Structure 1
Amino acid sequence: MGAAVLTVTATLLLALPDRAPVGELPALARSHGIGLGVAVAVDPLARDGGYQDVVTSNYTSVTAENTMKWEYVQPERDEFDWSGPDAVVDFARRHGLGVRGHTLLWHNQQPPWLSEGTWTGTELREVMREHTDALLGRYRGRITTWDVINEPLVDDGPRLRDNLWHRVLGEDYIAEALRMAHEADPGARLYINEFGIEGAGPKADALHTLVTDLLDRGVPLHGIGFQGHFVHGSVPEDLTEQMRRYSDLGLDVTVSELDVRIPEPAGQEQLEEQAREYRRVVQACLDVPRCVNVTVWGVSDQHSWIPEWFPGYTAALPFDGSYRPKPALAGMAQALERRRTGTRPGRTTPRTPPGHRTRLKNSKGPGIREPRPASAERPATPPP
């Protein structure tokens, strides 16, 4: 067994803290310059005190799980419902939390008027611009990060998904949507959010190729979201390496929708192993110079999407259905505690000066890439 394998094994076998670190994670995360987020639903956020306490005590930002998706925010062509998004944004403001906008273009959860419509390219571009201008314009300055493109690749392969936007506008719809979002809010950080890219494979390579092309063309893209919906026992060993590929391009990365589902029944042994997986994911973020946030997808197991979508799986989140902390919360804290007195690798590395050209391996032609526009630079303010 090699030394590297022994090191990893020893790391995973470290004992977890013997108490639940409720309330400690926000300060620990901020000490490293990263955020910890959680996906929230409108109803429990408004009415459930236990739900609210978990959010405000353990996280630094929120993502609207559903209420900013197209079917909810624009149920009719000329009708916007801001009640849900406003509730999330107002809650975040009252409690000093950041907000991640989710999501503009996705193949799911579209209203019938949009998904069943017959559109020309000109008409669909007009619809896309109306929606983008309304959503980003309303929350300009209050939502600083947006998932503009969600899941553009097919589930298990390297091809672009045959969605409404691709069928009508062609493969350049991604660049068009990013440009529209940048025009609507030039200060927002714009992301492509995808699953199945956390480990090496054709889909991961296809997204990297797509992103590299967008950057070479000067398209305003600032980050990549690694969703991180994992099955217990399947967190990729090369997650750090995959995220670094985008950090090396000058992009921010996040783990945007983290959960680790366990086959039923989930015993204590499985929960302890899950805690080590949560720790590994947070460690991976800390090991990547431009990883700015880890967001878990749901406040508690009671509110998780997993049982409905993956029957036979359970216990995917750091809090159980009664808002009691699970070992996963301690696993996240341990990753942050172990780095508390250190510095993150590469955090102080100077960026390429404006106007400087950098060489790329395996690039076509003379191997020169023009620098991205200033809109693609990282903001001076810390992540939410």
Structure 2
Amino acid sequence: MRWTRKTRGAVARHRRRTGALALATVLAIGVPAAPGWSAVAGLDDAARLTGRSFGTALQSARLGDPTYVGLVEREFGSVTPENELTLDALQPVRGRFTFDAGDRAVDWARARGTQVRGRTLLWHAGQPGWLAGLAGSALREAMLEHVTRVVEHYRGEVHSWDVVSEAFVDGTGARRASNFQRTGDDWIEAAFRAARAADPGARLCYNDYHTDDLRHAKTQAVLAMVADLRARGVPIDCVGLESHFGPHTPVPEDYRATLEAFTALGVEVQITELDVEGSGDVQAADYARVVSACLAVQRCTGITVWGVRDVDSWRPGGTPLLFDRAGAPKPAYHAVLAVLTAGVPPDPTPAPCPGPGPSRGSRGTGARPR
């Protein structure tokens, strides 16, 4: 069938009618089949039919593992190098940039037409010792130089950057008393402006955890910051929600409302580090709730699970991912696929995923400075 704007509108209306039923089915029986979708190769293929991407954290050290590589290639159309692009990895010595590991991850992804998210330019953690010894104007200069050099290096190759991560504390929602914060309240604004100057085509995001519940002070503080930045013309394009869930941090009832609150400010939302501790139908239902909420919000443009198999997770004891340690799909995987495909007719020509980055099967034209 021809995948036209009219067709996409009809699909969207049908999805709204059937999505609630599909989710109810997922919650009731955990692992429904997705009839008519045998041609869908993986999660990202299904997500792109909704205009979204579906990605994973990438560990370049595991690229020699054929099971790991096979899952990434089949299921995910976007990757976030897990630690290869952090400040301590890229500039362990001041002024000496070590791009080798980052380049391997980015080149591997782009050779396969896979989008790359960049994590993270400025973060209170993951800092080399030399940076911790700076203060004031010297720290501000080094901070912005790092942003500029890294974003310029990957210009045209990274479609979204987490420019700043985790600048607020839980509870009160106050600014974290980091070394960056001590250079002045405008440090976040300065970082976003430097990133935009270095790559005008990249999507620039603020990223944080425990911002999933609209009622929490931290969520409200980030909303207020984004509103202020947008009102003053600061180039912020999206907000990333890390969304780490489990028995002690359940998916909030107002999760969709949180996504809607951010998009109402004129930014996209991306679910950037999703995982859910648990197993079986309970875990499957939580994953389904999150994915369903994203599909219900037009400007929720991408979902990234924080790892491939349970054994690859940063908290492997909680078995929080979509594939078990052997690489077999879990009930959560089938629940996510069911929600992604609910209400979409089989075998349409995929609609393009929004955003400036290269889609799966294509490559950008940006040349990396050397």
Task: Report the TM-score when normalising by structure 2.
Answer: 0.84
The alpha-carbon deviation at position 23 of structure 1 amounts to 3.2
- Contact 2:57–2:307 (CA under 8 A) maintained in structure 1: yes
- Contact 2:113–2:358 (CA under 8 A) maintained in structure 1: no
**Could you list the runs of 5+ residues in structure 2 that have no partner in the other structure?**
1-19, 361-370
Give the AA of the match of 2:335. Answer: G
Aligned partner of 2:203 in structure 1 is 189
The yes-or-no answer on 1:87 pairing with 2:91 is no
Distance 2:67 2:237 in 1: 35
The alpha-carbon deviation at position 380 of structure 1 amounts to 6.5
- Contact 1:156–1:196 (CA under 8 A) maintained in structure 2: no
Distance 1:76 1:305 in 2: 26
Distance 1:189 1:171 in 2: 23
Aligned partner of 1:323 in structure 2 is 327
The alpha-carbon deviation at position 109 of structure 1 amounts to 1.0
The alpha-carbon deviation at position 125 of structure 1 amounts to 2.3
The 1:282–1:9 alpha-carbon spacing in structure 2 relative to 1, beyond 3 Å, is closer
Distance 2:358 2:261 in 1: 22
Considering Cα pairs closer than 8 Å and 6+ residues apart, tell me whether 1 or 2 has the greater RCO: 2
- 3-state SS in 1 of match to 2:93: coil
Aligned partner of 1:150 in structure 2 is 165
- Contact 1:226–1:256 (CA under 8 A) maintained in structure 2: yes
Cα shift readout 1:97-132 (whole Å, capped 9, x = no counterpart) = 0000000110001011112x13222x1222122211
- 3-state SS in 1 of match to 2:120: strand
Distance 1:93 1:379 in 2: 16
The yes-or-no answer on 1:106 pairing with 2:123 is yes
The alpha-carbon deviation at position 15 of structure 1 amounts to 4.8
Identity %: 38
Q: CA RMSD in A?
A: 2.3
The yes-or-no answer on 1:53 pairing with 2:70 is yes
The yes-or-no answer on 1:174 pairing with 2:174 is no
Give the AA of the match of 2:299. Answer: R
Alignment size in residue pairs: 329
Distance 2:326 2:154 in 1: 33
Distance 2:221 2:31 in 1: 37
In the TM superposition, 1:279-358 aligns within 5 A as 279-307=288-316, 313-341=317-345
Give the AA of the match of 2:118. Answer: G
The 1:209–1:139 alpha-carbon spacing in structure 2 relative to 1, beyond 3 Å, is same
The yes-or-no answer on 1:271 pairing with 2:280 is yes
Task: Report the TM-score when normalising by structure 1.
Answer: 0.81
Distance 2:310 2:134 in 1: 40
**Could you list the runs of 5+ residues in structure 1 that have no partner in the other structure?**
1-5, 263-269, 308-312, 348-377
Which aligned runs of 4 or more in structure 1 are off by greater than 4 angstroms? 6-11, 18-22, 378-384
Distance 1:118 1:150 in 2: 20
Aligned partner of 1:371 in structure 2 is none
Cα shift readout 1:304-328 (whole Å, capped 9, x = no counterpart) = 1014xxxxx4110001111111111
